[in-house]
Amino acid sequence: MPLALLALAVGAFGIGTTEFVMMGLLPNVADDLHISIPTAGHLVSAYALGVVIGAPLLAAVTARMPRRTVLIALMGLFVVGNALSAFAPGNGSLLAARFLSGLPHGAFFGVGAVVATSMVPPERKARSVSLMFLGLTVANVAGVPVATLMGQHLGWRATFLGVSVIGLAAIASLALLIPHDRVGAPSAGLRGELAALKSLPVWLALGTTVAGFGALFAAYSYVTPMLTESAGFAESDVTLLLALFGVGATVGNLLGGRLADHSLRGTLFGGLVSLGLVLLLFPVLMRAEWSAALAVTLLGMAAFITGSPLQLMVMEKASAAPSLASSANQAAFNLANAGGAWIGGLALAAGFGATSPALAGAALAALGLGVAGVAYAVDRRRSVTHVGRVVASHVPEQQGVLNH
């Protein structure tokens, strides 16, 4: 694998850290800015909104630019957003800075996935994407806990300054390790990128992402009350258990990349089935501490097995102009975050119990499997139609030869 993938992983590590660290710093930010924790929670939403808007917008605006330049510029915007967060004087300016920090997130992963796959042979494309995503999963194991501790002891502003330094390291890595002559030609331009989004298979792939990762976030958004109320853990133990989720996600991400290079569809279907089964077992596994820890680890593994296949499937369906579709898939991941958390919250609000969000997630995993099945059926039908047209076009020629 090219060393250049390390540069993409460093950028992903910084992005993953700043995305998830805010959840652990909400009490600190609320106290410092004299706002309530629910109000501070809007900072998480502001970042997610930035991702959803920025992913397709920045991918479209930069469609004609060299991809190496785009990646460096996106990481520069990431540094600016986090630096502004560190020096924000009040809640309003911090909301704007968090929105700005989220803008480059989706486009970086989208364009980065295109760059990663362009540097490896076809049989290693999924693995190259998984190595880029490795930075995101490792951020959950190491980056977020360390950044949270930094914020608790040195102040939350120090955390965002630290993330800005990671962003600068990513810029240096991108400039040093990604050569100009190995990232492929600039994309097909805005018109070509938009044309790729007219494809039904692309939208089915995006729908699979929303449903599949919505299943994860339906449960993961409420994993803390599950662990404390059902499994009996103390709140102080939750940080370690979330690190176990990160370990599972890291293993699942690497495993999914390797398996998807052998069978993209098989890995995707298998991952969604595994995710649904794990979520169905959550009410049972959350009855004891050891099984609850196992459940959290398996949740991360099963969910992130599907990460690389989902990203690669969207890119293959928009193969002529993959940058915008690839970035749109990152927006789909964040829609899954918001939608999954909302659906899991409905289950809780209905009084079905602390583990009910996991069952709602299992239903979403089944929905994702259904959408993936429809996508497979559409592909099969198009393949059969294409073969039929090719055969039909050769029949007159063959008949003419026979007559002659």
Cα 311 versus chain centre, distance: 8
User: Residue 236's pLDDT is what?
Assistant: 75
pLDDT value of position 183: 45
285-289-292 Cα angle (round to 5): 35
What SS3 state is found at 263? Answer: coil
pTM of the complete model: 0.80
Closest CA to 301 of 343, 341, 346, 244: 244
Sign of CA dihedral 329, 336, 8, 15: positive
What pLDDT, on the 0 to 100 scale, is given for residue 386? 47
Instruction: State residue 166's pLDDT score.
Output: 94
Radius of gyration of the chain (CA): 22
Q: Quick one: which H or E segment has residue 165?
A: helix 156-177
**Residues of the chain predicted below pLDDT 70:** 1, 181-197, 319-321, 382-404
pLDDT in tens, 260-305: 988 888 999 999 999 999 999 999 999 999 999 999 999 999 999 9
Q: Could you give the domains of the chain?
A: 1-186 (1.20.1250.20), 191-399 (1.20.1250.20)
